[in-house]
Structure 1
Amino acid sequence: MSGKVRFIDARKSQFYSTVRGRVDDYFKEQKLTKNANMLMYFKTTFFLGGLIFIYCLILSNKFNLLSMFLLSILLGMFTAFVGFNICHDAIHGAYSSKSYVNRALGCVFNILGANAYVWNISHNIIHHTYTNISGHDGDIEIAPGLIRITLEDKICKIQMYQHIYAFLIYGFASLAWVFNKDYQLIHKNNLGGTNFKHPKKEIAKMYFFKAVYYFLFIALPLLVLQLSWWQFIIGFIAMHLVEGWIMGIVFQLAHVVEDSEFPIPNSDGNIEEAWAVHQMRTTANFSKDNVWITWFCGGLNMQIEHHLFPKICHVHYPKISVIVQQTAKEFNVPYLENKTFLGAVRSHYKMLRKFGIEAQESQEEVADQELHNLNLK
């Protein structure tokens, strides 16, 4: 569906105003900032410092091939973790109350091969507004024609096996960003049904930082490392496959699980629901109480809290999640949650299998109808 989608809150839900007020009261009573604290500063040092350290170890030329391969994998992991823990908050404006700090840390996103400007539009504006709405939310358009997760997705015979191959496809998410997706999106004026006029300055910045990334992660390693070109390619692809798989699986577990909904706008282009309630129906948490997953995922395992309060730094999510869950219960609003990471993966697998089987059955029905029509002739 083209055009903007509007949220019509006919029931006049008080859920969001109530939970927002309670969260505001929490920060006032505790005399806390909604932005980064000492824990966040430590995480920033740990992940950004770790990434730079691993990168320097690789360029040092002091390791054998197996060690270089393992370091490449570790570099991919830390790249994803820097994106989750630092850049994501910064681009949302949640890291600091000072815009120049957010811009500076968001610039790290550019150096790592993605683009903060494009991400702000596709993720912050489109995904956070039109979550799980087919034709608008680009984050659920994983691999059109290959992976089907909504009723409106194009049906293809191979999708009957998508629960098997989808997890492999997720690994290519990072490579797609670095070499294809950003270029496509920045030259589109309509994204998710909304028109954008991209400033020439932002287009130039994107090409500049892409060149910086290609130099730092392709040209420079090829110049200084004592590796053949094919050995470098193996390490480079391994780095991106690991980075892409981590990013892909974390995002899918937050929105494509068994109880998450994929609302379809009515004929007028409206969603008959309050925006905040829509977020609660389309977003799920996983491993909320697991401190290690929360540490590495940058709070993205608490997507409910993130979608309701994207400008609050993720280190505060564990505390405010108690408020959100209790308020959701009071207002009879869903609070979707998988208690464990494996439980969330299992739920996502079932969703993939369900939509894959439906695609197969739909094709069989079409084939039977075509055969029936031929027999009638």
Structure 2
Amino acid sequence: MRTDQILTRLERVFARLDREPERPAHLQTPRMSRHRVVLLGSTFAFYLAIVVAVLTTSWLVRLDWQVMFFRPYEQWPQLHAFLDYLVVLGQRGPTAVMVAAWLGWRSWRQHTLRPLITLGVALLLLNVTVGSVKLGLGRLGPHYATTIGSAELFAGGDIFPSGHTANAVVTWGILAYLASTVTTRRVLSIVSAVVSLSVGATTVYLGTHWVSDVLLGWSAGLLIMLALPWFEPLIAGVEAWVFAKREAMRRRVEAGTLPAPVAAMLVPLLSAGGKWRPPAPAGAPAPAAAATPAPVPAQTAAAAAATGHTALARPTAHLSGRPHLVRPERLPGAPAGSRRPAHGDRAGAARAAARPAAGGS
């Protein structure tokens, strides 16, 4: 009788997780170096200069109007269809889903929540900083401008700074920030810079943002990326808190203090990323540690000694706590009785096989 072990989908996931490597030791958390501090200060000064230039209706506002009257989407209409798709790389919803999927896979591979928590912290900072400035200044976009030459501030708009541009800097820049090697970090930094510059220029082409909106969006996103090392202790604390809560829930599941439906729902989450297994239910037979050979009957041993053969113990089937698939000896609907021919038929068949097939008398 052949037995095949059945593995459920969840058990296959557990087996995969057990073979995954632990968090690589060479991963280093970025620190706030002197070079980063200088870049942060320079970017912040540039940010303030753009805000002051718009508030004072300086030459930057005049440039905004000149580009708006130039109408790039009318100068190069053949690019419109392509740039309509390219600008999606700056929308928060689609980009956050794509990047979160990649970082979630990295978290699963490396048994750490740092990539996902870092993304969440960066997006939270982006929403708070950019959203507050948008609502505070209330600037109208080019399509809703009312007074030529005006900065269109405090008019109930939400266009300054450009959210598309800032989101492109943060969402794609987080991949470079979390890169595990120097070469990968440099390549991803270049890619994120090209994507964010392209998205910002596309919004100006489509007429949805002023030039100054894009400049301030680039600065806002870069400020968040440069300031992220200051939030690394917070990220580590959140990760440690989540793992501590998971261990506490594991102990409650093992102690049986949770209702059975709740424990059944929590088992997949508590078992992911480690070798912990839920306790066996009460009354379930414990799996055998090792299969012991079955004793050889006395008649079999005596017959083996008379014929000169060694009596071997028949190995027993592998015992496991999981269900097994047993192959039936007979298909349903097959006639009853033995499938072997009678003894006389077997003897006749043996004599027929010994007779030569052709030739001879």
Q: What range is the shorter-chain TM-score in?
A: under 0.3
Task: Determine which structure has more spread, i.e. the larger CA radius of gyration.
Answer: 2
Question: Which structure is higher in RCO with an 8 Å CA cutoff and minimum separation 6?
Answer: 1
